[in-house]
Homo-oligomer: A and B are copies of this chain.
Amino acid sequence: MSQSIAAHPDRLLPTDPGTRRIARALLERVQDLPILSPHGHVDAAVLEQDTPFPDPAALLVSPDHYVTRLIHASGVPLGRLRASSDAAPGSRSVWREFCAAWPLFEGTASGYWLRHQFETVFGLHHELSAETADATYDAINAKLQEPGFRPRQLFKDFNIEVLATTDDPLDDLASHRAIAQDPTFHGRVLPTFRPDQYLDIAHPRWQANVERLIGAAGDGGTGYAAYLTALENRRRYFLEHGAVSADHGVRTPATLKLDAAEAARLFDRARSGQATAQDRDDFEAHMMYQMARMSVEDGLVMTIHPGSYRNHHEPTFNAYGADTGHDIPFAVNYTEAIRPVLQDFGTAKDFHLVLFTLDETVFSRELAPLAGFYPSVYLGAPWWFLDAPDAMLRFRAAVTETAGFSRSSGFIDDTRAFCSIPARHDTSRRIEAAFLARLVAEHRVSEERAHEIIVDVVDSSPRRVFKL
């Protein structure tokens, strides 16, 4: 059992000693700033009810597709990684699988986050291994029983100031309301409006969702106009409950402005189950245009996450459902796709449009040029597969020379793994320090300015871009 490297103070900093010294000072400047997490997937109810975390496997392995995917690739069926509450040995067995697979995570982003959690959250100072699987299971499990390991205490210990969740448009947001009204809770837990399954007519629940939406939030009508009104009403409801953004997980960044009559025709065709593939594309693109229009009107920041082929392996989807590790990115093109929205709203007052990508090629080619001209456009932080040290450095190198530091969203952890939040933000801050330290060492930015920039990037940018 060798010693963990997670505690090394210089982890992820540049190898050149002179540059590393500069990076250390930059990191120190932001290391204790509060965590701002304007986009993620933690469940608000867990924080409202201060639900104790489950066992180590159910907390750290089974629900995290970043983790299960690589173990699956090594030949372990997903079924062996799902902790079932029925069978007593379930969790421990999953944990053993995970520990045996731990060497697979060397060099991966997930490996860094996990190792950092083990070290700093769970106090394990040695590397995981198959031999010590039971011991580490017991150690983590014991920690999880302690009152200090409840979500609310960790929220405080993690120094989280703002945490945004991702929510269904018809969610009553009761947990968010309860947290907001609780004088003993000092952070902010904000809902995010995520209407994908109400906009994509190919989604299996779209028709049912639209019925429910119009019924719950419409104006009495039943058609396209009522649908738009219902969406506007629910956005308003989210705003009243603290939401700052609306998030869109779309296939492509296509946007399209249709006139109301044409949009209504597509809507009606879709409701009667007669939409074609082209109808689907057009309607989804048009609804992105409508979402932009609503954002201009109500002020919700609009974020777009395109370019993932969801549920690539149908047999796995049929057996285990969505978010099980086989969403695979593909090439996207923003320049033409996003133009209809930018033509009309690109310079609209207070409109904030944060563009994410899983296709790195668009960073220098399209996103930096767009964000470097349009006041509305911000560069979404490297996300998902790109939320990793080297990929983050590539992002900064790709966009900064065109768009500077002022056009980025700030870090987005996008996680459902609550205990990984500090590790992810720590990684991001180290990489920002590493990148800036190089610019200082190359005499491209003065050390004085770099100290201002890193605070801006870590703290001021997300506040400004997400209107926190």
Contact = CB atoms under 8 A, between A and B. Distances in A.
Instruction: Indicate how many identical chains form the complex.
Output: 3
A390 to B, nearest CB: 5
A182 interface: no
Given A330-B336, A370-B328, A444 B400 contact: no
B329 A369 contact: yes
Interface in A190-223: none
Nearest to A65: B373
Contact of A12 (B111, B369, B403, B442): B442
Given A16-B15, A371-B73, A373-B72, A309 B328 contact: no
A282 interface: no
A402 interface: yes
B373 A325 contact: yes
A385 interface: yes
Contact of A441 (B15, B103, B315, B398): B15
Contact of A375 (B75, B111, B397): B75
A268 interface: no
Given A5-B443, A12-B442, A443-B8, A330 B405 contact: no
Contacts of A15: 14, 16, 18-19, 438, 441-442
Interface in A67-103: 69-70, 72-75, 77, 103
Interface string A254-284: 0000000000000000000000000000000
Contacts of A316: 347
A153 interface: no
A91 to B, nearest CB: 23
Interface residues of A, number: 97
Contacts of A397: 390, 394
Interface stretch (A47-55, A143-151, A293-301, A353-361): A353-361
A328 B366 contact: yes
A120 interface: no
A394 B363 CA distance: 14
Contacts of A240: none
Contact of A335 (B3, B75, B329, B449): B329
Interface in A374-414: 374-375, 377, 385-386, 388-391, 394, 397-398, 400-407
Give 10 nearest A-B pairs by CB, closest first.
A388-B401, A11-B443, A8-B443, A330-B335, A15-B441, A107-B400, A15-B16, A390-B397, A69-B373, A15-B19
Interface of A: 2-3, 5, 8, 10-19, 69-70, 72-75, 77, 103-109, 111-112, 127, 309, 312-316, 325-331, 333, 335-336, 339, 342-343, 346-347, 358-361, 364-366, 368-375, 377, 385-386, 388-391, 394, 397-398, 400-407, 438-439, 441-446, 448-449, 452-453
29 contacts: A5-B444, A8-B443, A11-B442, A11-B444, A12-B443, A12-B444, A16-B16, A73-B406, A104-B404, A107-B405, A107-B439, A108-B403, A111-B404, A112-B444, A313-B373, A315-B347, A316-B347, A327-B369, A328-B335, A328-B366, A329-B365, A330-B336, A358-B365, A360-B365, A364-B386, A389-B401, A389-B444, A390-B400, A394-B397
Given A328-B335, A360-B364, 14 more contacts: A5-B445, A5-B446, A14-B15, A73-B375, A74-B406, A103-B449, A106-B453, A107-B400, A107-B439, A108-B402, A309-B335, A309-B336, A309-B339, A389-B401
